[in-house]
Structure 1
Amino acid sequence: MTIELPAPPSLPATAHSDLHSEHGRRRGEHPGRSRNPVVKVRDLAWLQFEKPDLARTEVFARDFGFVVAERTPDELRLRGTFPGTDALVIRRGPVSRFGGPVFQAAAVEDVDRLARHAGTRARPLAGGRPGRIVELRDPSGLPVGVVGGAEVHAELPGQVPLRMNTGLTPGGRFARVNATQRPAREPARVQRLGHVVLETPRFQAALDWYLDTLGLIVSDFLFLPHDRDFGPTMAFLRCDRGGEPADHHTLAMHLGLTAAYVHSAFQVTDLDAIAAGGEYLAERGYRRAWGIGRHIQGSQLFDYWRDPDGLMVEHFADGDVFDASVEPGWAPMSASGLAQWGPPVTRDFLGTSPSRLREALGALRAEDTELTPARLLALMKAMSS
């Protein structure tokens, strides 16, 4: 006997049916990649920060799940359990400040090629560490490094994914029999740096610079609802590794008031690591910014936290990976379009505050901004929808 299941109900207009980005570009829209980039970076190497209190920074780093690679009186280098370079390099400074991303070149020769292109010189890494780095600035004025030949750490023991009894019919082969699930209440061990998100008032110029200079390619564009002709106002960019899959986004950027860091994301093992690690952070008094949920663009499971200085960092797991054959998707920008499921997006995550309104007045007076009063209002409306 065949049992017919009822058809799923049709989705209302407000559901996520119109927010996924399987739709491609229209004629004349941005192609999402450069025809002839100077180089093609392989990945993010590390992010650079300054912090006034390295001891407090180290406590949070360990609670968040980092491993300390090296600590000196003036520098803290953090890593994950996967083999690779440092994930964060934090130097002592007068205020908490983002010092820019450092990308990993495919070869040391690419570092010198970039230096010649920019009319500058590459230099050895400081402190006698192996590798060469070239220091650039994007059109927003943010410092951007590209490194080749940097030290690669050996793999460390990590959290083992839980064996899940999922999707099985009665009598099927179970992954776990006569055993319980008891994930430890401990820090979610960071595996690696995944991506960084930046805000820029010169979105179009910055986008083209990252495509033309570093060879990044776009996985997804977001545009202002009812104003797609203006062009994209957010882009999720990945590394072009040809047929080798890369993270859905290594860098994400959106049009905004200032050139600024938004957040950075670090991969952990699975949902249980995110949830148990989040409980561990909450018990120690840290502030969750938003989560737990699952994104649309990139599909990651996410959980956002504020460090003691207010900078936002993310635990994520189960993200999409694309090879170079996938063309950009296009979707309207909205607050509800940031997640498939999870709690409503918070004001903390969106960064809406009276101080931001004051920044808006100054941003609109700047000569090098792509923001206009109409676009700013459209952005604010999209992020409240």
Structure 2
Amino acid sequence: MPGTRAQEVGRKDLGTPHQDLHSAQGALRGEHPGRSRNPVIKVVDLAWLEFEKPDLDRAEVFARDFGFAIAARTEGELWMRGTFAGSPCMVIRKGRASRFIGPVFKAADQADLDRLARVTGSSVREADVPGGGRAVGLLDPSGFPVRVVHCGEDLPALPEQRPRLLNTGTDQRRVNAMQRPPREPSRIQRLGHVVLETRVFRRALDWYLDTLGMIVSDFLFLDGQRDRGPTMAFIRCDRGRQPADHHTLAMHLGPGTGYVHSAYQVTDLDSIAAGGEYLAERGYQRSWGIGRHIQGSQLFDYWRDPDRFMLEHFADGDLFSCDVEPGWAPMSAGGLAQWGPPATRDFLGTNASPAKLREVMRALRGDNELDPARLLGLMKAMNS
């Protein structure tokens, strides 16, 4: 949605005009800058995500079907990885119930861990990761355990799914050869991002910017409530001039506090589509897809695992360097994709249930950033 003339003038008055690279609107005077002036450290990526589940055998079957390789397996732990060299993507530990524990981020070096521990009053401890390493444990304002790790040894690269060679217009590079992508799991390359819901959006946002040095790529705001600030942020790692994923972490205001989904990069659209057919044949539930996002531009396809956690295959995402300023856009279900089927109620989390109603009532009675006006605005956004 283009900005008004007054918004354009306000943008120029800021002295840092929005570059219009990824959003029709930039910040207005006095709005959140999307970065901290003096962060404690600057994490360089997500390392892995931590879960608990009662049935590791069932979790491993889905992991292989979704496209993970297994980095390590014990009686009490399952470590999954992608084909890229580096750290694992996910660990699932045996527990009584299925639950998300929290994210683990990568520090640039050991000195960053030492500084983080000193400033936050924490300690540096051994990290229980294949190959070894050290970590600092923190708690974000939403109550999520967050760890920052420096791994001692990277996992080696694994064989890749090769991207399809495409004939496009007059650029005809494939001759006397057919396209036959195999019906097999999409081979995961790496962990891309995690999305979290929180009742204390502004406090959590500032914590990740101030503590971990992350920066905002795009803000979303509720219709008619922009003056109250954003309700969703797509946040990337600040690697300076080295490009980083459009978002490594995304957060939105809501009545719940928890995991929304996580996303894993694969080679290309054929890998997404053929891997999706493989999952469908084995009875897994597609939540939404296939399509292309607006914020981040990724090709996407969302699936539910047997424990109802949502995972995304993605390819062809945006990469931003540190000089790209945050974009601002209205929050809406229709604004989530450039093309593809309409966002499903399952993906949006708008399926009515007694548990959802109790969650909303608890949030409205609690000390947080959700009030009736915000709730009504969120409901309107998810139906527009």
- Aligning the two structures, in what range does the TM-score lie when normalised by the shorter sequence? over 0.9
Match for residue 188 of structure 2?
Answer: 190
Q: Secondary structure at the match of 2:339?
A: coil
User: 1:129 offset after TM fit, Å?
Assistant: 4.4
Match for residue 215 of structure 2?
Answer: 217
Match for residue 5 of structure 2?
Answer: none
User: 1:128 offset after TM fit, Å?
Assistant: 8.1
Q: 1:128 to 1:310 in 2, by over 3 A?
A: closer
Equivalences for residues 11-160 of structure 1 within 5 A: 21-126=23-128, 129-160=131-162
| Whole-Å separation in 2 of the counterparts to 1:279 and 1:360 | 36
Q: Secondary structure at the match of 1:337?
A: helix
**Deviations for 1:286-315, whole angstroms, at most 9, x for unmatched residues?**
000000000000000000000000000000
Match for residue 236 of structure 1?
Answer: 234
User: 1:167 offset after TM fit, Å?
Assistant: 2.9
Q: Secondary structure at the match of 2:100?
A: strand
Match for residue 377 of structure 2?
Answer: 378
Residue 279 (structure 1) aligned with residue 281 (structure 2): no
User: 1:122 offset after TM fit, Å?
Assistant: 1.3
User: 1:150 offset after TM fit, Å?
Assistant: 3.8
For the 8 Å contact 2:41–2:212, the answer to whether it is kept is: yes
Match for residue 15 of structure 2?
Answer: none
Q: Secondary structure at the match of 2:36?
A: coil
User: 1:258 offset after TM fit, Å?
Assistant: 2.0
Q: Secondary structure at the match of 1:316?
A: strand
Match for residue 7 of structure 1?
Answer: none
**Deviations for 1:258-300, whole angstroms, at most 9, x for unmatched residues?**
2200000000000000000000000000000000000000000
Q: Secondary structure at the match of 2:276?
A: helix
User: 1:127 offset after TM fit, Å?
Assistant: 7.0
Letter in 2 for 1:383: M
C-alpha RMSD over aligned residues: 1.2
- From 251, 266, 269, give the equivalent of 2:264: 266
For the 8 Å contact 1:44–1:194, the answer to whether it is kept is: yes
| Whole-Å separation in 2 of the counterparts to 1:347 and 1:288 | 12
Match for residue 357 of structure 1?
Answer: 357
Unaligned runs of 5+ in 2: 3-21
| Whole-Å separation in 1 of the counterparts to 2:143 and 2:56 | 26
Match for residue 327 of structure 1?
Answer: 325
Equivalences for residues 306-345 of structure 1 within 5 A: 306-345=304-343
Question: Identical aligned pairs, as a percentage?
Answer: 70
**Deviations for 1:101-151, whole angstroms, at most 9, x for unmatched residues?**
000001111112111111121101137842110110101111100001343
| Whole-Å separation in 2 of the counterparts to 1:282 and 1:150 | 38
| Whole-Å separation in 2 of the counterparts to 1:23 and 1:71 | 48
State TM-score, norm by structure 1. Answer: 0.92
User: 1:184 offset after TM fit, Å?
Assistant: 0.2
Q: Secondary structure at the match of 1:47?
A: strand
| Whole-Å separation in 1 of the counterparts to 2:129 and 2:235 | 32
| Whole-Å separation in 2 of the counterparts to 1:364 and 1:151 | 46
Q: 1:149 to 1:159 in 2, by over 3 A?
A: same
For the 8 Å contact 1:198–1:259, the answer to whether it is kept is: yes
Aligned length: 362
When structure 1 is superposed on structure 2, of 77-86 and 114-123 the one drifting more is: 114-123
| Whole-Å separation in 1 of the counterparts to 2:249 and 2:234 | 6
Q: Secondary structure at the match of 2:167?
A: coil
User: 1:356 offset after TM fit, Å?
Assistant: 1.6
Letter in 2 for 1:50: E
User: 1:357 offset after TM fit, Å?
Assistant: 2.3
For the 8 Å contact 2:236–2:245, the answer to whether it is kept is: yes
| Whole-Å separation in 1 of the counterparts to 2:227 and 2:123 | 40
Letter in 2 for 1:61: A
| Whole-Å separation in 1 of the counterparts to 2:328 and 2:130 | 45
Unaligned runs of 5+ in 1: 1-10, 12-19
When structure 1 is superposed on structure 2, of 279-288 and 353-362 the one drifting more is: 353-362
**Deviations for 1:59-82, whole angstroms, at most 9, x for unmatched residues?**
000000000000000000000001
For the 8 Å contact 2:298–2:317, the answer to whether it is kept is: yes
Letter in 1 for 2:59: T
Q: Secondary structure at the match of 1:187?
A: coil
| Whole-Å separation in 1 of the counterparts to 2:362 and 2:260 | 19
Q: Secondary structure at the match of 2:196?
A: strand
Match for residue 6 of structure 1?
Answer: none
User: 1:214 offset after TM fit, Å?
Assistant: 0.1
